[in-house]
Structure 1
Amino acid sequence: MTSTTRPFRSLLYIPGSKERALDKARALPVDAILFDLEDAVMPEAKVEARATLLAALGEGGYGKRAKIVRINALDTEWGEGDVAALKGADIDAILLPKVNSAKDIDRLAALCDVPIWAMMETPLAIFNALEIAAHPRIEGFVAGTNDLAKELNCRTRPDRLPMQMALQTMLMAARAHGVVATDGVYNQFKDEAGLEAECEQGRDLGFDGKTLIHPAQVEIANRVFAPSEAEIDLARRQIEAFEAVLASGQGVAVVDGKIVENLHVETAKKTLAQAEAIAEAG
């Protein structure tokens, strides 16, 4: 599956330094694993974490889960070393933190030959989101909402109103260039109701999925960001009604009292394709 068809409902951060967590991730029902060499690893453990992660990747066993490694920023003492260590590793992409512009993607692109994802976690990243999304090596965006909140000096609210401009700007840029867009983390991992509400908001906005910090959050993200049975049923009926009208050459397609036009059929086909991709991913 390509990055545009494979599901990205749940993306779980796993510390690259923790052998037990790396092993446990092999059995988790996540769509993607974000192997973390940055924030989840203390400075004194970063070099050793590379070897630990490479050993886990070499052992394999992660199945169809997307394997994405978040390296340290390239302006740190570890960034370029992370990239060099990952050459030839069995990964699907590198996630670059602290991106500010497409020039940061250029720098990483010159060092590796795998797809690149960008952490969108600075004001400059948001203002430059369109040029970043347009970069030929970019396949995905991750909203770095914790860092954004710090940079903006905004308050944390359940409705995330102070964050909406940044989230929507990032999302529109991603959609303009066919880039995967994933929502930021929910920090209170024991608050299931709060997580579900934030997942619902992210799904309503149009995000493909949510980044997670704990395995207990996976089920909710997978459920919310997947098409519901009602949505799948509606999609099928819309397609059938529209095709029936085209075959007859007369009338207007109507489902549940609403007119069905070509744009609705396109959305319906995407819904069914997403459901099929989720089923294929297992």
Structure 2
Amino acid sequence: MHHRPYRSALYIPGSKDRALDKARGLPVDVILFDLEDAVAPDAKAPARETLAAALVAGGYGPRLKIVRINGLDTTWGADDAAAVATMACDAVLLPKVNGPEDVDALAALVPDLPIWAMMETPQGILNAAAIAAHPQIAGFVLGTNDLAKDLNSRGRAALMTSLQICMLAAKAAGIVALDGVYNAFKDEDGLRGECAEGRDMGFDGKTLIHPAQIAIANAAFGPTKDEIDLARRQIAAFETAEAQGQGVAVVDGCIVENLHIVTARATLAKSDAINALETS
């Protein structure tokens, strides 16, 4: 289980100074600095310099700083990778990963950076387990818009198999998995529902396209007060039972075994990590 919070991951254009500066003050857990979709073709080369300067200037605190490059099969990908290799970032995000060989190609260019994979093609979904098992892969980001386009599908339900395959692969490999974006950024109820669904599936957080979505994602993917309270009571009851030579406890009419205590302690650790992040 990952105790570091990944509740909210906001895409920020790497070419826009104003957006890069605003991101320094946003209560987001992960910043996805984008050199791909959010940057026009004629702005991609200068965007590298703009982003590199912003990262050197710092001010992003403990937020995880991930740079999404263009694919290595594009005109800009190799130069992006070379630039990112020297940037003050935490990881690099590779779009349209179809298999572990794509990760190998990037790893040769950024040997010292963790790699995250955009899971957004049918071939990539079918190879999710092999991609997740790559030694340099640290996380998945679901690219639900591109995936829906390739599948010629409509609606979230059509993506469920793909989401679940990626979730299984991520959990098996012990890496992070972030759910795809919700496009209607003014639809708070819709975002809240999709965040709850993603959290129930096991995703660690939600990728976002607008700062207005941050608070909802943070609330959905962080432990609630009731969950924190239950975790504390489960741990206390189990420790009392152990002291009495018993292997199980009962809390709120439910059996509590060691496996529940693992989850309870992870809940408290995540809560502590969120508090540390928000007060830093």
C-alpha deviation, 1:185, in angstroms: 0.2
Residue 267, structure 1, aligned to residue 266, structure 2: no
1:14 partner SS: strand
Q: CA deviation at 1:5?
A: 3.0
CA deviations 1:185-210 (Å, max 9, x no partner) are: 00000000100000000001000000
- 1:45-101 alpha-carbon deviations (Å, 9 max, x no partner): 111111111111111110011000000000001001001112221100000001000
> SS of the counterpart of 1:280?
helix
Say if 2:12 and 2:19, in contact at 8 Å, map to a contact too.
Answer: yes
Q: Secondary structure at the match of 1:67?
A: strand
- Aligned pair 1:54/2:52, yes or no? yes
Corresponding residue number in structure 2 for 1:217: 213
Corresponding position of 1:136: 135
TM-score where L is the length of structure 2: 0.97
Distance in 2, Cα, partners of 1:250 & 1:56: 56
2:249, 2:56 → 1: CA distance? 53
Distance (whole Å) between structure 2 residues aligned to residue 151 and residue 238 of structure 1: 46
Question: C-alpha deviations, 1:123-182, integer Å up to 9, x for none?
Answer: 1111111011101100010000000100111112xxx21111000100110000110000
Q: CA deviation at 1:252?
A: 3.8
2:109 aligns to what? 111
| SS of equivalent residue, structure 2 residue 207 | strand
Residues 1:278 and 2:278 are matched in the alignment:
no
What is the Cα deviation at residue 251 of structure 1? 7.1
Matched, 1:255 2:254: no
Gaps of 5+ in 2: none
Question: How far is 1:24 from its partner?
Answer: 0.2
Offset from partner CA, 1:228-276 (integer Å, 9 cap, x none): 0000000111111111111101374100000111111111111111111
Aligned to 1:150: 149
Query: Any residues of structure 2 matched to 1:80-229 within 5 Å, and which?
Result: 80-112=78-110, 113-156=112-155, 160-229=156-225
- What's the Cα RMSD here? 1.1
Measure, in 1, the Cα distance between the counterparts of 2:128 and 2:246: 45
CA distance in 2, matches of 1:183, 1:251: 37
Aligned residues: 277
Q: Equivalent residue for 1:41?
A: 39
User: Unaligned 5+ residue runs, structure 1?
Assistant: none
Q: 2:213 and 2:191 mapped to 1: Cα distance?
A: 8
TM-score by length of structure 1 reads 0.96
1:230 aligns with 2:205: no
Partner of 2:3: 5
Q: Quote the sequence identity (%).
A: 66
3-state SS of 1:273 partner: helix
CA distance in 2, matches of 1:23, 1:188: 24
Task: Please identify, of 43-52 and 245-254, the stretch whose mean Cα deviation from structure 2 is larger.
Answer: 245-254
Distance 2:212 2:93 in 1: 23
Asked if the contact 2:12/2:34 (under 8 Å) is kept, the reply is yes
Question: Secondary structure at 1:163's aligned position in 2?
Answer: helix
Counterpart CA distance in 2 for 1:39 and 1:100 is 18
Segment of structure 1 superposing worse, 16-25 or 3-12: 3-12
